[in-house]
Structure 1
Amino acid sequence: MTPYSFHIPLQYLRSYISGRLALHFGKTDDVTVDADAYWHDGSPFALWMEEQQPDADEYVCLLLALAPHLQPSFYDDIIKEYLPDGSNFIDFGGSKSLHHRGTLPTGETLLFILAGNDVNRRVELQHRLLHGSVFFRKGILSIETVPYGEPMMGGRLVLAEETLEFWLTGQISHPRFSSEFAAEYISTSREWDDLVLNGYTLQQIREIEEWIKHHHTLLHEWQFGQRMKRGYCALFHGPPGTGKTMAATLLGKSTGLDVFRIDLSKVVSKYIGETEKNLSRIFDRAEQKKWILFFDEADSLFGKRTEIHDAHDKYANQEVGYLLQRIESYNGLIILASNFKANMDEAFLRRMQNVVYFPVPSATERYILWERSFPERVKFASDISLEHISNEHELTGSNINNIAYFCCLKLISNQKEEITSPELLYAIRRELVKEGKG
């Protein structure tokens, strides 16, 4: 993609803004701009526009949000042509940020460029764009939330990161985990056959897979949308290492959906309002992408609520209430994982569509896990019976994988391919001690 790819749209936007400013300052009677703002050069930006077909107002909004990412002084340079003395131009809107020295567009900028000071046109635009435009509904464009009581359109006009990335590179990567986006993309190279569970647990997971594949038909074609929640919430509970995370990633893999694990320790903040803001960032993006949201160690936030003794307890319950509200309205799959179902709030459990128990594998299941955990090149000494090992040691799939990893590392170090009985038993004891069971 050559630099010329963005020359035409930026020039179009510059002409549009200049026309509005010229009209505002009485230098012209009309905003006249060359209507040929589109071009077809095969770039990701051009292809995206051809596919999405924004109308004229939407196109200007998209360009307004894009411009500072390409030219930091874009708006300041234009304004200086009309206000060379640097006077503050309130009607234009705009804001500054901590790390960006140039003017950033706000909702007020958008309204001024498209409608000037025509109040009726501004009201019509605000309603039509924020509530009717697919770009705002899907979160491609958004107006940043402002403190309570301030004009709503004073918030920055924001372009979704993944949209900007596609326009610039033709690719979309997963959002980066950070303090402001405490959700981590997780995936697996495993297949369903690698998930060794009892038949009933596996059946419950497959039922969730059926919901993912067919819920749109159920809600719309079979008209259950008025009688059922649009989303699905399930609890996975059981000891650590029994396959809860793996099951979640396999559900995503089999249905083509991304799975994001929420780190509640990063989401919850001691500052009032920050927890809700952190959760909102995740849910707002997830709802547009149909992500599967996986809350690990969910009992840390969804545990049994205690009586309110102080302001902190009251606020903690408000945080949970806000999260429950977002979960109730979420139109996709949410999975909560907990090691102990007994720790979960009973009123909350009643809202679940499915509660799936992941027990410690039976001896038969452990035998399958032992057989599958070692590479084919590894040999076992003649006095090792995996069936006996499976019966004697109550281990999870995660424990067995850790033992196999340790044994294979030792084999490589010692330039061997056969495991002896003492070596295997040492690795088992080592794992049990680590788990506090030895």
Structure 2
Amino acid sequence: MSQLKTLSKLLQQEKFIETQQKLQEKNLPKGITVLLHGFPGTGKTEVVMQLAKSTDRKIMKVDISQVKSKWFGDSEKIVKKIFTDYKSFAKDCEQTPILLFNEADAIISKRKEVDSSNVAQTENALQNILLEELENFEGILMATTNLAENLDSTFERRFLFKVNFQKPSSEVRAKIWKSKIATLRSWQYNNLAEKFSFSGGQIDNIIRKINIEEIIHGSSVNFDRVEQFCREESFSTQPSTIGFINIK
């Protein structure tokens, strides 16, 4: 939260301009690069959206999966074009926009051993180009990933802020449940929070199913049904039998 509060203040236009000027005077990179990493469904992308909204900045979102073209050589050109397009986009914006790399592990994962594989060579070449672009970057870049442990160490210093998103505590989960469903009792919010270690995104899935159920059947969903939805949400909660059983 401390880092996010700093970012929120930093991206206010007056502070942003002042910061870039000071960094440039000290011959330091003036680009603001942020890696938001952690458990899925904890709000990484949503935080980027809210930062952009609160500071009146536009977002240029990049679908990383489309960067990795099957045609050898195309991917490198696409990465360069992303940054060229961003510079052009920035010129049309009143304030420096945010370049968002969603699920960035697809392009900044650990390097592969260089062998006869064109795929390994292409992915390593992609990373070299991206490292070069980040070294000279002067805008605002935010990247999200669920797999920070798989990122190549060469990218570590390229990100000025590294914000770790953890699963909410039981107390926070209870508050999330209460903010989403107004019809339960206090002990029921606490019960759901303690029994199911969900992220905010997983809780949202259940809330959507509750709304669908109420539309289809025209009646409110009771607590037992909410618990059932919770049990269905995680693969790990489904009982399974492996091996042979005796049939009599």
Question: What one-letter code is carried by the residue in structure 2 that aligns with 1:217?
Answer: E
Preserved contact between residue 76 and residue 125 of structure 2 (Cα < 8 Å):
no
1:191-210 deviation per Cα after TM superposition (whole angstroms, max 9, x unaligned): xxxxxxxxxxx221122222
**Pair 247,324 (structure 1): closer, same or farther in 2 beyond 3 Å:** same
Q: Which residue of 2 aligns with 1:331?
A: 138
Question: What one-letter code is carried by the residue in structure 2 that aligns with 1:429?
Answer: R
Q: Which residue of 2 aligns with 1:373?
A: 180
- Is the partner of 1:233 in helix, strand or coil? strand
Match of 1:274 among 64, 74, 97: 74
The alignment status of 1:210 with 2:9, answered yes or no, reads: yes
Q: Which residue of 1 aligns with 2:243?
A: none
For residue 226 of structure 1, report the CA deviation from its aligned partner: 4.1
Write the distance in 2 (CA, Å) between the matches of 1:384 and 1:423.
16
Q: Which residue of 1 aligns with 2:218?
A: 415
Preserved contact between residue 403 and residue 428 of structure 1 (Cα < 8 Å):
yes
Preserved contact between residue 80 and residue 129 of structure 2 (Cα < 8 Å):
no
Q: Which residue of 1 aligns with 2:241?
A: none
Question: What one-letter code is carried by the residue in structure 2 that aligns with 1:258?
Answer: K
Q: Which residue of 2 aligns with 1:308?
A: 114
- Is the partner of 2:143 in helix, strand or coil? strand
Q: Which residue of 2 aligns with 1:138?
A: none
Which structure's relative contact order is higher, taking Cα pairs within 8 Å and 6+ residues apart? 2
Question: What one-letter code is carried by the residue in structure 1 that aligns with 2:188?
Answer: S
Preserved contact between residue 38 and residue 146 of structure 2 (Cα < 8 Å):
yes
- Is the partner of 2:158 in helix, strand or coil? coil
1:223-267 deviation per Cα after TM superposition (whole angstroms, max 9, x unaligned): 644422121111111111011010111111111111233111111
Q: Which residue of 2 aligns with 1:141?
A: none
Question: What one-letter code is carried by the residue in structure 1 that aligns with 2:202?
Answer: N
What are structure 1's unaligned runs of at least 5 residues?
Answer: 1-201
Preserved contact between residue 384 and residue 421 of structure 1 (Cα < 8 Å):
no
Preserved contact between residue 73 and residue 122 of structure 2 (Cα < 8 Å):
no
After superposition, residues 311-322 of structure 1 pair within 5 angstroms as 312=118, 313-322=120-129
Preserved contact between residue 234 and residue 334 of structure 1 (Cα < 8 Å):
yes
For residue 298 of structure 1, report the CA deviation from its aligned partner: 1.4
The alignment status of 1:406 with 2:209, answered yes or no, reads: yes
For residue 404 of structure 1, report the CA deviation from its aligned partner: 0.9
What are structure 2's unaligned runs of at least 5 residues?
Answer: 91-95, 239-248
Q: Which residue of 2 aligns with 1:432?
A: 234
Write the distance in 2 (CA, Å) between the matches of 1:405 and 1:347.
40
Which has more radius of gyration?
Answer: 1
Q: Which runs of 4+ in 1 moved over 6 A?
A: none
Instruction: Report how many aligned residue pairs link the two structures.
Output: 229
Q: Which residue of 1 aligns with 2:64?
A: 264
The alignment status of 1:293 with 2:99, answered yes or no, reads: yes
Preserved contact between residue 134 and residue 158 of structure 2 (Cα < 8 Å):
no
TM-score by length of 1: 0.49
Question: What one-letter code is carried by the residue in structure 2 that aligns with 1:431?
Answer: E
- Is the partner of 2:234 in helix, strand or coil? helix
Preserved contact between residue 232 and residue 353 of structure 1 (Cα < 8 Å):
yes
